[in-house]
A and B are shown apart, each in its own frame.
Chain A
Amino acid sequence: MAWFLQNAWLIPLLPLLGFGIITLTPIQRNRNASAWLATLLMVGATVIAIGTAVEVAGRVVVGPDGTVSVAGTEAHGADAEAATEIKAGHGYEWREPNIVRTIRWAPAGGDEPFTMGYIVDPAVAAMLVMVTITATCIHLFSVGYMAHDPRQARFFSFISLFSAAMLAMVMASNLLLFFMAWEVMGLCSYLLIGFWYDKNYADPAQITPRQAAIKAFITTRIGDVLLLVGLAWLWTEAGTLELGAGPGQVFNPALLERLATTATGTGVSAATGIALLIFGGTVGKSAQFPLHVWLPDAMEGPTPVSALIHAATMVSAGVFLTARTFPIFEASEALPVVAAVGAFTALFAALIALGQFDIKRILAYSTLSQLGFMVAALGVGGWVAAMFHLLTHAFFKALLFLGSGSVIHGMEATVGHDSNTSQDIRNMGGLRRFMPVTFVTYMAGFLALAGFPGFAGFWSKDEILADSFRTNTLVWLVLSLASLLTAFYMTRQVMVVFFGTFRGHHPRKQPHTTHGDHHHEAHDPHESPWTMTVPLGILALFAVFAGFVNLPYDGYHHLAEFFAQEAGKFNVLVIWVSSAIAVLGIGLGWLAYRNAFASAEDADPLQRLLPGAFTALNRKFYFDEIYAATFGAAAGVLARASTWLDERVLDRVVLDSGSFTRFLGQVNFIIDDTVLNDGADLLATGAQSAGDGTRRSVTGKVQDYVALVFAGVVVLGVIYLYVVR
């Protein structure tokens, strides 16, 4: 009965296997084979993930010795009773995982070796289901979307690795393994954002996929370094990175207590410092302000990649990191910072989304904004609300991205393969007639994101708003304003894309392109093939119904029960206000944009109303420019200083020492050649000639010897007579 739990390690392994097979075997030459292989393996992972979740929902617990038991539900009920007494806004308790499987990995200095392995608890199970289902849909969608790409096998191997890394990260039994998988995702995002690395634009100022990939990698790296420092600090303080509340694990109450009371030189407790550094990782990966700049440019990757990054992996990873280490945050004073960053990002990104024309970039800023909601929810202690929104958002954001991919795919039939033209919403319009399936599913995603009552996004967003209303009114106000803007910009997008008249036959002139051929003009946009519409349909079902797993009424908190956490409170005022906001936003959007664009060259109504402000929004509040002028310029100055140092100082030193050595070599050569070499030669030839000379005196004739002896006697006699005497 616990087969799925005991074999949950297969979930990340299957996509990893797909990556390995496609990368290493000749199957990569067959584009369709590699695509379907990756998709089928992902389906397998999905099946296991769903089975695991079912077992987790059944409270199946596998002990360390392999014994399978079913935990009593009444224990959790008692916990829930007790939890209501906990201060509002601190709603997370670490629960014993359903299964922990580890292997000894490396000696760690202490008695216990460092272990690696996987954990499945309700939060993990929910994430696994979400990630595998969305990833499967994205894989299937990509089969159609990437059908004409020559590097299809490469694409599928990368997204398989990406999914595998995300799944491994979710299941990681300790924070080091978590971090490793996290970094693999960073690598995959780099590879996939830069997938069309040979693409160039006529406008040199427009960011290319290559640059976007580097930008994403470096920006998230800032957060990753902070996270790594935080983990190193946690290791030095705690001596462990293992997830869990037991002794020798990071959520041990005694340890958290000690961390919270350990003072540091900066005036905050160690827990706060560690929590803030870990949150730095979240800010980078989930693209929160001020490290948000990479996410919109990540749109340079293929659209399924955007869906993968925005829904199933990557940005969810950031939120999941904070959710996973939430006990540390609860022990610290970092939560207000988390709430502030989240709320600010939610509003800030929603504002920027108002001024964008690229269909994918609008969604990208919407993702930023929704991630801000989740982070803010965590900041106000709404753990369940944040996870709930993370799950529902993943489904409808994947749907919206895939829908936009379908739209772009259809548009390319009319305007050609120029992403500047095919992704500009001003060139669309009236697409509901050409792409009915895409339209209907997109509407489901739109209503979910806009928070229309009854749809998935409504329930999860409402839970966040209710939590923030209870704990921090300012956050609630900011988030409510952001939801109003969300409804507004999404209505704007849908009105401009799907309603009105089709403007694609006369697209906007690109300021930098010279070629004016519109040989596609004769074609109308077309609906996408079934491999693309089926995933849309599946995700649309989730967008409509996923909210019902956790209704804010007593007895319907299924997700909170699944997590065994305290459920959010029902709040009549908040639910009416957020309903009104959604309807108001949609209504305003409809009013402003129902007839906004008669031709593709028209100006946006907001632009006519507030030209200056609109330009600021369209330029994303100039953050790219500001960063380029500050950090970019600082990096440039540093680079130039390094060059100067390198060329003028280090090179000089190196060259001088080189020539000095050369000089020494010359001297050495002279000494060697003249003294040592010639001297030795001289000695040798001298000895030889001396030998030759003496050899001649040795004639072997007795009389010669006698004569010599006599001469010697004479000499001795002479010496005796004239010298000694």
Chain B
Amino acid sequence: MPSMTEAVPLSWVLLLAGALFCIGLFGALSRRNTVGILLGIELMLNAVNINLVAFWRYLEPNVVAGQTFALFVVTVAAAEAAVGLAMIIAIYRSRQTVNADEVDSLRG
């Protein structure tokens, strides 16, 4: 039985990652709910993680840099989610809404 790398070419994995990124981007841009936006961002980060792991596995299996980067991203994503959720709660407390369209105090 051929190895996984031979059975599934790299491009398929990259396509999956690209698709996931696009779904995440779409979610981040189109969702009005702030929690939805956060979810989209998580998706994009995970798409990047897939890329990192895929490049490591297919191109440089002897170096651990890809896995390490992926782990870092997961850690940062967790922290980001925590901070993001905290901000959403703070916004909700001050504005009684989590709708991103209504939070536009940066408008020029």
Contacts and interface: CB of A to CB of B under 8 A. Distances in A.
A700 B102 CA distance: 9
Contact of B105 (A694, A695, A700): A700
Q: Looking at chain A's contact residues, is the secondary structure mostly helix, strand, loop, or mixed?
A: helix
Interface residues of A, number: 12
B28 A706 contact: yes
Nearest to B28: A706
A701 interface: yes
B29 A698 contact: no
A703 interface: yes
B37 A700 contact: no
Which of A700, A703, A706, A707 counts the most B-chain CB atoms under 10 A from its CB?
A703
A710 interface: yes
B101 A694 contact: no
Interface in B34-62: 37
A3 B100 CA distance: 115
B6 interface: no
A67 interface: no
Contacts of A702: 37, 100, 103
Interface in B62-108: 100-101, 103-108
A513 interface: no
A699 interface: yes
Nearest to A705: B106
B14 to A, nearest CB: 15
A698 B104 CA distance: 10
Interface residues of B, number: 13
B98 to A, nearest CB: 12
B13 interface: no
A702 B103 CA distance: 8
Interface in A680-725: 694-695, 697-703, 706-707, 710
A701 B100 contact: yes
B23 interface: no
B79 to A, nearest CB: 19
A695 B30 CA distance: 22
A706 B106 CA distance: 14
A699 B28 contact: no
Contact of A707 (B29, B105, B106): B29
B25 interface: yes
Contacts of A710: 25, 29
B104 A699 contact: yes
A694 B37 contact: no
B28 A694 contact: no
Contacts of A699: 104, 107
Contact of B104 (A694, A700, A706, A707): A700
Contact of B107 (A694, A698, A703, A707): A698
A692 to B, nearest CB: 10
Given A702-B37, A706-B28, A695 B100 contact: no
A710 B106 CA distance: 19
B25 A700 contact: no
A706 B108 contact: no
Interface string A358-370: 0000000000000
A699 B103 CA distance: 10
A706 B107 contact: no
A657 B25 CA distance: 76
B100 A698 contact: no
Contact of A698 (B37, B103, B106): B106
A489 to B, nearest CB: 113
Nearest to B25: A710
A710 B41 CA distance: 13
A694 B108 CA distance: 9
B107 A700 contact: yes
Contact of B29 (A694, A695, A700, A706): A706
Which of A695, A697, A698, A701 counts the most B-chain CB atoms under 10 A from its CB?
A701
A703 B100 contact: yes
Interface in A483-540: none
A705 B106 CA distance: 11
B108 A695 contact: yes
A696 to B, nearest CB: 8
Nearest to A701: B104
A690 to B, nearest CB: 13
Interface in B12-36: 25, 28-30
A703 B28 contact: yes
Nearest to A699: B107
> Nearest 9 A-B pairs (CB), nearest first?
A700-B107, A700-B104, A698-B108, A700-B106, A695-B108, A703-B29, A701-B104, A707-B29, A699-B107
21 contacts: A694-B108, A695-B108, A698-B106, A698-B107, A698-B108, A699-B104, A700-B106, A700-B108, A701-B101, A701-B103, A701-B104, A701-B107, A702-B37, A702-B103, A703-B28, A703-B30, A703-B37, A706-B28, A706-B29, A710-B25, A710-B29
Interface of A: 694-695, 697-703, 706-707, 710
Given A700-B107, A703-B29, A703-B37, 5 more contacts: A700-B103, A701-B107, A702-B100, A706-B29, A710-B25
